[in-house]
Amino acid sequence: MGREVLRSTAEYLTPVTLELGGKSPCIVDAMAKIPLAARRIVFGKYLNCGQTCVAPDYILCDGQIRDQLVEAIQAEIIRQFGADPLQNPDYGKIINEKHFHRLLGLMDAEKTVCGGQYDEKTLRIAPTVMTDVTWEDAVMGEEIFGPILPVLTYNAHDAEKSIAQNDFCRDASGTHAATGDFVDWAIRCVEEHPHPLALYFFSEDKKAQRRILNYCHFGGGCINDTIIHYAQNAKQAGLDGVVCSPLEAGMVKDACGKDFITVTPGVRFADGEVGDQVRVTTPARAREIGTDYIVVGRPITQAADPVVAYERCVREFIGE
């Protein structure tokens, strides 16, 4: 549908902004705090019964912590929704009968390890987790937009696919040994598919966090959290912009005469336990922590004069 809209507007050179795709990955590596990750994944995934545009669509998980993560997610589902979510008056329902049956068609009973129950009269589907999922499964063929969470796992077979030959490993030095190959695989999985609206990465490995942000294209996201970036103040950072237009990229280059400036989406970092302060990567914060990220989003792309807005943002970033 988006391509058809672009094709129609291109004939008249009409500016248009489209939302990115909805299969938003949630990446969990071996350095993640599993209980914290499970709590925040369950909150973000099953909020409004999974019917939010920035919900985690699926998990890319390191095989060595897969079982521990799934067990923690199951425990969190019970903690947040009760032993029988279908009887919880505060648990949501699917928007209509058409989408209810669409979601049932995405579930595979043989791969379901949690949930799977449903009530057709109330259009409710219990929080469901599926494991041993592959990209060929029906649940990976479209945006889920419902309470089904597929878990894709990195294993030794993936390591045999010459991942180290791609461009994602150029700055792999310093990454914790337990996460290196997995992070390369996760990046490749994300980049081989349409750019997602959101991306979430759970890891305490700062180098791995940097590589995910360097090589994955997505709208907005969080490090060690989910969903919360969507609640940020638009005046603090861009909301969900990926600069993919040569025109926009040219604006940045022309504004400062440098090629190395990297435009990335707004990303929120959450450190420590629940309730800790969240920080946003703004140009000032980027300079402070020595990163090469600037945040570009709606306040700039929708400005009266985007070229001037880009120039101001870039010059602020490089300290001029």
Distance, in Å, from the CA atom of 227 to the CA atom of 43, rounded to the nearest integer, reads: 9
Tokens representing residue 256 in the block? 């400062």
Beta bridge partners of 59: 26, 151
Strand segments, DSSP code E, in 143-226 are: 148-154, 198-202, 220-223
Tokens representing residue 249 in the block? 């990229």
Nearest to 209 by CA among 149, 314, 315, 289: 289
User: Is 26 in the active site?
Assistant: no
User: Is 53 in the active site?
Assistant: yes
Nearest to 204 by CA among 148, 153, 271: 271
Torsion sign across C-alpha atoms 105, 106, 111, 114: negative
Orientation of helix 66-81 relative to helix 34-46, angle to 10°: 50
Note whether 255 and 314 are within 8 A (CB). yes
Select which of 11, 19, 49, 143 is catalytic: 19
Cα-only R_g, the chain:
20
- Helix (H/G/I), strand (E/B), else coil: 20: coil
Select which of 4, 26, 53, 256 is catalytic: 53
- Taking CA atoms, 305 is separated from 246, 252, 311, in Å, by 17, 13, 10
Active site positions, annotated: 19, 53
